[in-house]
C-alpha cells in the first residue's frame, strides 16, 4: 500500500514537473531536438537550490573582486 502511494506521488510530481506546455523562454533549452535541460524531479528538488547557492557565491565573488577593465564578464 505504501509502495502504491509512493508511486502515485512520484507519478504526480513527474507530471507536474515534466509535462504540459512549455512557454518559450521559460523552461526548455534544446539542440537538434534533444533536451539539454530536464526540469525534472531531481533537478527541482535537489539541484536548483545548489545552483542558486552557486550563483549567489559567484555574484558575491564578483562584488568583492571587480573585474579588470577589458575582461569579458557574463551575467
Partner 1 sequence: MRFALIGAHLREEDLEGVAGIEPFPVGGLLLSSIPYDPAGGLADRQVIASAAGVRSALLAKETFVAIRYGTSVTGPDDALTKCRQFAGDWKDLLEKYRGTVEMTLKIAGSAAPLRPDRHQFSSGRAYLEELHRSRSSSSIDEGFRAAVENELGGQAVRWRWVRRDDAGLELAFLTHRESTAKAREAGLRLKETYPGVPFLLSGPWPLEVFADGK
Least distance from C-beta 69 to partner 1, angstroms? Answer: 33
Q: Which of 42, 52, 54, 58 binds partner 1 (CB under 8 A)?
A: 52
Reference 20, options 36, 39, 46, 35; nearest CA is 39
Residues 6-35 that bind partner 1 (CB under 8 A): 7-8, 11-13, 15-23, 26-27, 31-34
Range 38-52 burial, b when 16+ CB lie within 10 A, else e: eeeeeeeeeeeeeee
For partner 1, the binding residues (CB under 8 A) are 7-8, 11-13, 15-23, 26-27, 31-34, 39, 44-45, 48-49, 52
Amino acid at each position: 500500500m505504501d509502495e502504491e502511494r509512493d508511486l502515485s506521488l512520484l507519478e504526480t510530481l513527474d507530471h507536474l514537473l515534466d509535462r504540459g506546455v512549455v512557454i518559450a523562454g521559460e523552461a526548455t533549452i534544446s539542440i537538434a531536438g534533444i533536451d539539454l535541460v530536464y526540469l525534472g524531479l531531481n533537478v527541482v528538488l535537489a539541484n536548483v537550490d545548489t545552483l542558486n547557492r552557486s550563483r549567489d557565491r559567484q555574484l558575491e565573488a564578483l562584488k568583492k573582486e571587480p573585474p579588470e577593465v577589458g575582461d569579458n564578464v557574463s551575467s
